[in-house]
């Protein structure tokens, strides 16, 4: 039985509480989905995408800023500006105290109070609002990008849930398959014990030689080994299921009845179309492509004009206070004439990334289609194998019964008996293996078509 894919999910699981119970498939899946850390990773990605989407929506709203700035300066221009903003400017600040109309050179006089005013303090309290009106479609692009990434993250969560459900089914079905092999081995062991006892009696009666008994005993040892291997496979499958469910290695766990999966359609073309339309991994990648296309729109917005409004209220004082109020209202329109191709290169980069993502989607579609075809071919092969194995078991059982009766009467040899029993054991084992492989391939088809969930199994 295959456990490579199962090991991936096992590595993502964390040990949990000890639990003693027989669980059905539904409980196994629900427990796995509730505690597997990969779900936490995806949930965090969804939260990030949701926050980015909300942020993009809110970027259309006005932004309000409150600031308080304290200044101390003896710079003539700054001091005069502070007094003017505080409504404290006087004629004396212009140096009128030095004005002498009798001085013929009065126009060349440098006013001391204006040029060397000393130091002054200013505390500016400001409330400012910025309102974006049009920015070349940048905000709309951010919204589309965030929305697509949110949808991609949600589909990613669906993909993880279905993959974990598949891993649980593989382990759950593996337990039942191992028990089918155990049953085959136990039947073979019963037959081997019977052959040993019968041969021992025939040896005592002198009907057969001792080598016949040794062959029967050697066959029994081989069957015992086959039984131990089957039991070990059962333990491995249960270990995988415990790990997926987050249980400790010592947890007493058993599984309930086997689960039967019904395919949504028997047509290969219909299944392929379902996979292309409904596979959550593919849908997530398509949303990522939409996000990359929106990134191109954001880059192109840098080439377009922008228009924004600003409203501001100021309070200026030489100490903490709200005197000398003033306001400013402004409309700002700007358009980048040229940046010598820098924006064009950014657009080219975003466009190339979008084309790359679209190509990845096409490649993933081919991968999903090929995977579904392989699972479908294998499933059809296993259907035939199950039917032929069932017939082979019936024929081999009937033939072995005849050989056993001939051996008991001394007509057949132990070699013939063991050959017939080996054929019967092989047919039973092949039937158990074919049933397991057939069920796993059906699960693979359900996974490819995006239907590997409790609601659709």
User: What percent of the chain has a predicted confidence (pLDDT) above 70?
Assistant: 96
Reading the block at residue 327, the tokens are 């306001």
**pLDDT exceeds 60 at position 4:** no
User: What burial letters (b/e) apply to 331-350, b meaning 16+ CB within 10 Å?
Assistant: eeeeeeeeeeeebeebbeeb
Query: Quick one: pLDDT at residue 258?
Result: 94
Q: How does residue 6 score in pLDDT terms, banded at 50, 70 and 90? A: very low
φ/ψ region of 385 (left if φ > 0, alpha if ψ in -120 to 50, else beta) reads: alpha
The percent of residues in the chain predicted with pLDDT above 90, rounded, is: 72
**pLDDT band at residue 360 under the 50/70/90 scheme:** very high
Q: Looking at residue 15, what is its pLDDT? A: 43
DSSP string, 29-62: HHHHHHH-HHHHHHHHHHHHHHHHHHHHHHTTS-
What pLDDT, on the 0 to 100 scale, is given for residue 38?
A: 86
pLDDT bin (cut points 50, 70, 90) of residue 413 is confident
Domains and CATH numbers, the chain: 4-60+137-307+341-448 (1.20.1600.10), 75-118 (no CATH)
Residue 409 has a pLDDT of 81
Global confidence as pTM: 0.80
The stretch 392-415 carries a mean pLDDT of: 87
Question: Distances in Å between the alpha carbon of 335 and those of 102, 348, 443?
Answer: 56, 20, 57
Residue 12 binned pLDDT confidence (cut-offs 50, 70, 90): very low
Q: Which residue has the tokens 């993959």?
A: 163
Largest CA distance in the chain: 159
Question: Do 88 and 317 touch, CB atoms closer than 8 A?
Answer: no
Are the C-beta atoms of residues 217 and 200 closer than 8 Å to each other? no
**Least confident span in 111-115, 232-236, 360-364:** 111-115
Residue 3 has pLDDT above 60, yes or no: no
Q: Is the pLDDT of residue 155 over 70?
A: yes
Rounded-to-integer distance, Cα 370 and Cα 195, Å: 49
Q: Considering only 17-26, 50-59, 179-188, 227-236, which range has the smallest mean pLDDT?
A: 17-26
pLDDT digits (tens, 9 = 90+) for 131-150: 999 999 999 999 999 999 99
Number of Cβ within 10 Å of residue 183's Cβ equals 14
User: Does position 109 have pLDDT exceeding 90, yes or no?
Assistant: no
The confidence band for 20, taking pLDDT boundaries of 50, 70 and 90, is: low
Average pLDDT over the chain, rounded to whole?
90
Q: What is the CA radius of gyration of the chain?
A: 41
Provide the pLDDT for residue 265. Answer: 86
Other Cβ atoms closer than 10 A to 66: 8
For residue range 83-102, list pLDDT tens digits in order.
999 999 998 888 888 787 77
Is there a contact between 132 and 60 (Cβ–Cβ < 8 Å)? yes
**Mean pLDDT over residues 257-282, rounded?**
93
Predicted confidence (pLDDT) at residue 2 exceeds the cutoff of 50 = no
User: What value does the mean pLDDT take over residues 229-237?
Assistant: 95
State phi, psi for 314 to the nearest 5 degrees.
-125, 145
**Residue 18 confidence (pLDDT) above 80:** no
Q: Give residue 320's region: left, alpha or beta (phi > 0; psi -120 to 50).
A: beta
Mean per-residue pLDDT, 363-383? 96
Q: Model confidence at 444, in pLDDT bands (50, 70, 90)?
A: very high
Supply the pLDDT for residue 323: 86
pLDDT of residue 278: 95
5 confidence band (pLDDT: 50, 70, 90): very low
Q: What are phi and psi of 272, to 5 degrees?
A: -65, -45
pLDDT for position 208: 79
What is the 8-class DSSP label of residue 430?
Answer: H
Q: Which residue did the predictor score with more confidence, 207 or 336? A: 336
């Amino acid at each position: 039985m295959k456990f490579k894919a199962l090991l991936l999910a096992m590595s993502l699981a964390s040990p949990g509480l000890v639990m003693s119970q027989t669980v059905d498939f539904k409980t196994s899946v629900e427990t796995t989905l509730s505690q597997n850390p990969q779900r936490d990773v995806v949930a965090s990605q969804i939260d990030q995408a949701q926050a980015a989407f909300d942020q993009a929506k809110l970027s259309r709203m006005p932004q309000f800023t409150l600031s308080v700035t304290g200044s101390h300066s003896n710079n003539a221009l700054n001091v005069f500006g502070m007094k003017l903003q505080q409504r404290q400017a006087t004629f004396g600040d212009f140096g009128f105290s030095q004005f002498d109309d009798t001085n013929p050179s009065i126009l060349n006089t440098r006013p001391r109070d204006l040029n060397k005013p000393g130091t002054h303090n200013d505390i500016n309290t400001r409330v400012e609002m910025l309102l974006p009106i049009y920015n070349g479609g940048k905000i709309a692009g951010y919204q589309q990008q965030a929305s697509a990434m949110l949808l991609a993250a949600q589909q990613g969560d669906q993909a993880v849930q279905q993959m974990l459900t598949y891993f649980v089914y593989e382990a759950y079905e593996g337990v039942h398959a191992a028990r089918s092999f155990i049953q085959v081995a136990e039947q073979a062991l019963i037959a081997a014990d019977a052959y040993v006892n019968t041969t021992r009696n025939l040896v005592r009666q002198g009907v057969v030689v001792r080598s016949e008994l040794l062959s029967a005993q050697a066959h029994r040892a081989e069957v015992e080994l086959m039984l131990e291997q089957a039991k070990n496979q059962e333990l491995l499958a249960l270990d995988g299921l415990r790990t997926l469910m987050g249980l400790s290695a010592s947890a007493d766990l058993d599984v309930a009845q086997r689960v039967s999966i019904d395919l949504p359609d028997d047509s290969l073309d219909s299944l392929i179309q379902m996979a292309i339309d409904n596979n959550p991994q593919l849908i997530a990648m398509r949303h990522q492509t939409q996000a990359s296309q929106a990134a191109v729109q954001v880059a192109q917005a840098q080439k377009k004009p922008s228009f924004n409004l600003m409203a501001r209220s100021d309070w200026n004082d030489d100490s903490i206070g709200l005197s000398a109020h003033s306001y400013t209202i402004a409309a700002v329109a700007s358009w980048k004439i040229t940046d010598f191709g820098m924006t064009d290169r950014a657009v080219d980069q975003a466009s190339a990334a979008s084309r790359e993502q679209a190509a990845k989607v096409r490649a993933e579609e081919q991968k999903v289609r090929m995977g579904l075809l392989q699972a479908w071919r294998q499933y059809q092969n296993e259907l035939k194998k199950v039917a032929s194995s069932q017939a082979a078991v019936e024929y081999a059982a009937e033939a072995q019964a005849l050989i056993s009766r001939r051996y008991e009467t001394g007509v057949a040899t132990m070699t013939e008996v063991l050959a017939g029993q080996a054929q019967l054991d092989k047919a039973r084992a092949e039937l158990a293996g074919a049933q397991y492989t057939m069920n796993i391939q059906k699960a693979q088809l359900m996974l490819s078509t995006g239907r590997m969930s409790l609601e659709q199994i």
